[in-house]
Structure 1
């Protein structure tokens, strides 16, 4: 720094060494506290792997007993590509002295992630409860709404494998690191929205079956006709929702929402045409046999 020059009042260059002297002075570090206890925050950026996977990986290597150095111990970590949620950890154990706690969900993005998914999970449960109450009020039955709502868990069959298949086929790379599409909070919002969409498809089938039975059609014939007659409305409803979700997949933040809707609609529409009629048959046929 003493060799740097700056302009003076007259415009001439003056060396910083002529303006004063330079001394090294110790500076007190900031001491952070949380809940009246001293705390140190450790930050890191993840590249090529989701934060949840990295945290699980680090936690797998933590031991709660002092590590004794041993001769001939290896210091080569296990390759990253061989680690999964079921076989995680680098193989290099680590620990902290007694009296020091390591909390991964105390602050930062990971805590926000846990809180968001917790709240969305509660919202999903509340949405399903409200749908069930409305269906009970409309049908006057406690069992029939369960048959109608069986289409909701079918979306999970499409969403979770769908994200894996998307990244396996169309995985992108940024700066030599993988850049997958994660199942984020927006994708969870898409699953909540799917609850209402796929329930509507089930209602279309069940309503036709109930109407056909009132007109004197046998139960088995009414179920078969419902799949044929209501196939087009179900496909049109699912297709319209699917096509409207495609532009959302181009957004870097809300792409998870779009892909969640697309994968969930494909799976639920395909399975609804089989699961709902069979479930209705088991429910009504059992009652007819009992009577």
Structure 2
């Protein structure tokens, strides 16, 4: 069989079409490059319409309810509410299993699961559905039931995450010395969240204040009767909570035996008649060692950050993603006047994303510089490496188009995909520029070398990009990797095709290569 020459190999329909397009672009190089940069500018403007996020939700068929009663609630009251909620949820279509937890949440069965502090007013319900789609359909029904039947409770229906758990993705933190001022600042922030119309689960992490009776211990009466504060505290504990006085063994389990008065003697009306015992075994009524009691409002919990009282106003998104909700309320919350010594900072998903990207921002320039130095060592000039790096931004055209078409958000996984895309695009540029150098070494005129090198590398460059796209394409349908796959697939397709134009046209502009006149 006769061997095909180079002229026959690159004379197919695709090669001829590419040769004609390349010749036209080289002939009108300034116009062609201007059109490419205009397309890049349009894509940069379109990037503002791409949804922003951090990590996607998990593809697990499990979701859960975090439930808080009033902070002064007894654990039996919480258990009653959880039984009522579980009875309703278990009857919903699509629910396979329901597990109740009272006083504390589930054990950490998932690394990214957020464990809440144990509390008698806290309960959790973990539910399993037949499919992931059922979660989106069931969530509004469950939230409507909770709002109708438990209006005073703080309840959230949440999904699990495979990477990091952020129950309230939009959060703002206020720090300062006075707790009352902090509550007022948080109240203003929560009101702005309510006005947005896209926020739900609006709350703060200090919980509402509760009414507490405070015993006023008298030092003078205590000394005269030999009863200390410790004696008073132990007597109150025995009277209301009870004290373990033994253990009952049942099989291999030890059940504590609690000693305390009967229910009628544990009521608040009997507080003044509580007997207080001292170390000598003498007992006196409570009123004999106190100056009465007072009822005050106290915060059930006060969080500190760097030893400074800090309150966090937080909410979840509804109908938009967390970044869009934050952008909507950012200006209004930022305009809240802060007294001296008080600070405000954004928390939630925004803070976690910034912390995750901080390491990338710190190391990425170093590796880009390293790649640039490698290209300089390969070509031993400055213009070819600069030209190769100039082709990278044009991947944004395909990335923006792909994310808008597929409806994916530009999150952390998409950022990783774009960073990996830079290496793939540099490979295509190196192949083209290296072939141009080989054609020039053969003695070809610059224009002919530019065209023939580009046409000869058309098939290897497109085939390499095509195989990469086919390998990543299955990830486009995965819940976790879909945004990264869309970034690589569409970015690589668009950038590969544009690189076949950008590199030759840029080379012609950088080195002054022009099409020879016909009479020559």
Instruction: Work out whether 1:102 is the aligned partner of 2:344.
Output: yes
1:272 is displaced (CA, Å) by 0.3
Instruction: Work out whether 1:117 is the aligned partner of 2:360.
Output: no
1:150 is displaced (CA, Å) by 1.9
CA–CA separation in structure 1 for the residues paired with 2:392 and 2:368: 9
The correspondence for 1:20, drawn from 252, 258, 263, is 263
**TM-score normalised by the chain length of structure 2:** 0.41
Q: Which residue number corresponds to residue 155 of structure 1?
A: 395
The correspondence for 1:33, drawn from 292, 304, 310, is 304
Contact kept? 1:209, 1:223, Cα under 8 Å: yes
**TM-score normalised by the chain length of structure 1:** 0.71
Contact kept? 1:246, 1:258, Cα under 8 Å: yes
1:123 is displaced (CA, Å) by 3.7
CA–CA separation in structure 2 for the residues paired with 1:48 and 1:184: 18
The correspondence for 1:128, drawn from 368, 381, 384, is 368
1:63 is displaced (CA, Å) by 6.3
Instruction: Work out whether 1:201 is the aligned partner of 2:425.
Output: no
Q: Considering fraction of residues, name the structure with more strand.
A: 2
RMSD of aligned alpha carbons: 2.6
Q: Which residue number corresponds to residue 61 of structure 1?
A: 332
- Find the residue that maps to 1:61 and give its secondary structure: helix
1:279 is displaced (CA, Å) by 1.0
Q: Which residue number corresponds to residue 67 of structure 1?
A: none
The correspondence for 2:472, drawn from 222, 245, 248, is 245
Deviates most, 114-123 or 29-38: 114-123
Instruction: Work out whether 1:269 is the aligned partner of 2:496.
Output: yes
CA–CA separation in structure 2 for the residues paired with 1:274 and 1:224: 11
1:219-268 superposed Cα distances (whole Å, 9 cap, x missing partner):
11111112211111011111011111111122212211111101210111
Larger radius of gyration: 2
Contact kept? 1:120, 1:189, Cα under 8 Å: no
1:129 is displaced (CA, Å) by 1.3
Moved over 6 A (4+): 24-27
CA–CA separation in structure 2 for the residues paired with 1:23 and 1:263: 70
- Find the residue that maps to 1:45 and give its secondary structure: strand
CA–CA separation in structure 1 for the residues paired with 2:361 and 2:441: 39
Contact kept? 1:120, 1:188, Cα under 8 Å: no
Contact kept? 1:136, 1:145, Cα under 8 Å: yes
5 Å matches for 1:131-210? 131-167=371-407, 181-210=408-437
1:141-190 superposed Cα distances (whole Å, 9 cap, x missing partner):
122111122221111222123212322xxxxxxxxxxxxx2111111111
- Find the residue that maps to 1:41 and give its secondary structure: strand
1:23 is displaced (CA, Å) by 5.8
Contact kept? 2:476, 2:482, Cα under 8 Å: yes
- Find the residue that maps to 1:103 and give its secondary structure: strand
Q: Which runs of 5+ in 2 are unaligned?
A: 1-75, 81-261, 269-294, 514-520
Q: Which has the higher contact order (CA 8 A, sep 6+)?
A: 2
1:203 is displaced (CA, Å) by 1.1
- 1:97 to 1:137, Cα distance in 2 relative to 1, 3 A: closer
CA–CA separation in structure 1 for the residues paired with 2:316 and 2:402: 26
